[in-house]
Amino acid sequence: MAWDFSTEPEFQKQLDWVAEFCRTEVEPLDLVFPGAAYSRDPKAKALADPLKQQVKDHGLWALFLDEELGGPGFGQLKLALLNEILGRYRSAPVIFGTAAPDTGNMEMLAAYGTEEQKERWLKPLMNQEIFSAYSMTEPQGGSDPNLFKTHATRDGDGWVINGEKWFTSAGFHADIIFVMCTNGMFVVPRETPGVEIMEYPAVHNHIRYKNVRVPADHLLGPEDGAKVLAQRRLGGGRIHHAMRTVAQVKLAFDMMCERALSRESHGKVIAEHQMVQEMIADSYAEINMLRLLVLWTAWTIDNTDTRQSRTQIATCKYTCAKVLREVSYRALHVMGSLGTTDLTPLQAMWAGAPTMAIADGVDEVHKVTVARNVLKGYEPHPGLWPTEYIPAKRDEARKKYADMIAADPDLTAWADLAAKRSHGRVR
C-alpha cells in the first residue's frame, strides 16, 4: 500500500527551520527594507546576502533544479512543501534562489543549453550574480503564439533580431533577456544596442528589439525550437505559482479565522454567525482541495514524464487563481473595513487574483487544454442511448439471471417490479 500523506521527519526538520527563518529573518527584512533581496545596492546586499548564505548552508538553495541540472535534486513534491512556506513572504523566493522569472529561464538553460552556455549564464544566474527576464508576449497577442512576429535573421556569424515584446517582467533589471522569436529562443544581453525599454509599464516592460545583433551561440536549443522551450519553461513556472498560492490562501485563511474569533457583532463573536462559518468551511475545503491537487501534481512530475503531468499542471493553473480569488475575498470581507486598506496583505492578495488568472497563460487556454486532454480518454456512445441508460443496462443484466427468473415466479415478479419502479411507472 503506497499511499502516504506524511513528510519524512528529516525533511520536516528542514521545513521547521524554514518556517522559523522566514518568520524571524525574511519577514523583518521585507517589512523594513522592501526590495533588499533583489537589489544590487551594496547596502542591500549586505543585508540580504548573509540570509542567502544561511539557505545555502542548509542545502536549500535553488531547490527547483534536479541534481543533473545543478540543483540539490529534492524534486517537486519537496519543493511544493517548501513553497507552502515561502509563498507567504514577498522576498523568500529570492532568498531561497527560487524566484521567477529566473527559475524558468534556468530550467531552459539547464535542459537545452550547451556546456558553454551553462557555464556563461546558468551558473551566474544560480548564484544571483546576474538576473534575467523572459520576452514572449507581444503587444498584438499573448495567448496565441501563432500571432507572434519577432524574428531573427541569420546574418554572417550571428543573428539580427527585430520585433516588439510586451510585459517582459523585470526586463529593466535583467542582465540577459530570453527572447522568443518565431524561429528560435535567443539569449540577448540587455545592454545590446537596439534593445529599447519603453517608459511604461514600469515593471512588466514593453521592449522594442531593433536590429539587435547577437552571436550565433546565443541561440538556445535548436533553431525553430522556441515553442518547445517555452512549454518547458512555463510548465515549471505554473506549478511553482500554484505552490506559492497555497501559502497565500493559507495566510488569508489564518487571518480570517483569527479575525472571526476576535470581533463581536450583534451579541456574539462573528465566528458564531453562520454565514461567517460558511465562509470558513468553504475556504477550508477549497484550500485543501487545491493543496492536494498541487501535491498530487508535484508527485506526478517527480514520478512520471512531463507529458502526463501537463493536464494536471494546467488544472493547478486555473484552480489556484479561482481559490485565491474566493478565499482572499472572503478573508478581506470578514476583516471588514480594515480588509479594504493596505494595512493588511489581504487587499493586495485579492487584487492579485486576476493577475494569477492571466500570467503564464489565461485560464481559458488552460481549461481548453484540460478538456481536450481529458476527452482523449472517452469515446462517443455507439447507439442512440448513453452507456448508462438504465433500461438498456437492466435488460442486459437480466440475461445473466435469465434461467433463475424463468424458474422462479417470485424472482420474476421482483425483477419486473424493479424494472417498472426505476422506469418511473410504479410509485
Ligand X SMILES: Cc1cc2nc3c(=O)[nH]c(=O)nc-3n(C[C@H](O)[C@H](O)[C@H](O)COP(=O)(O)OP(=O)(O)OC[C@H]3O[C@@H](n4cnc5c(N)ncnc54)[C@H](O)[C@@H]3O)c2cc1C
Q: How far is the CB of 139 from ligand X (least distance, A)?
A: 8
Q: How far is the CB of 342 from ligand X (least distance, A)?
A: 18
195: its cell numbers: 534593445
Judged by CB under 6 A, how many residues of this single chain contact ligand X? 20
SS3 string of 7-74? CCHHHHHHHHHHHHHHHHHHHHHHHHCCCCCCCCCHHHHHHHHHHHHHHHHCCCCCCCCCHHHCCCCC
Examine residue 359 and tell whether it contacts ligand X (CB under 6 A): yes
Examine residue 292 and tell whether it contacts ligand X (CB under 6 A): no
Examine residue 131 and tell whether it contacts ligand X (CB under 6 A): no
Piece in contact with ligand X (CB under 6 A), picked from 29-37, 54-62, 272-280, 351-359: 351-359
Nearer to ligand X among residue 103 and residue 283 (C-beta): 103
Examine residue 197 and tell whether it contacts ligand X (CB under 6 A): no
Examine residue 141 and tell whether it contacts ligand X (CB under 6 A): yes
Cis peptide before 28 (omega within 30 of 0): no
Nearer to ligand X among residue 76 and residue 137 (C-beta): 137
Examine residue 348 and tell whether it contacts ligand X (CB under 6 A): no
Q: Which of 76, 105, 128, 135 binds ligand X (CB under 6 A)?
A: 135
According to CB under 6 A, which residues from 95 to 114 bind ligand X?
A: 101
Q: Which of 361, 366, 369, 405 binds ligand X (CB under 6 A)?
A: 361
Q: How far apart are CA 342 and CA 331, in angstroms?
A: 14
Nearer to ligand X among residue 36 and residue 359 (C-beta): 359
Which string of x and - marks every residue 149-188 that binds ligand X (by CB under 6 A)? ------------------xxx-------------------
Residue whose Cβ sits closest to ligand X: 142
Contact set with ligand X (CB under 6 A): 101, 134-137, 141-143, 167-169, 204, 355, 358-359, 361-362, 364-365, 368
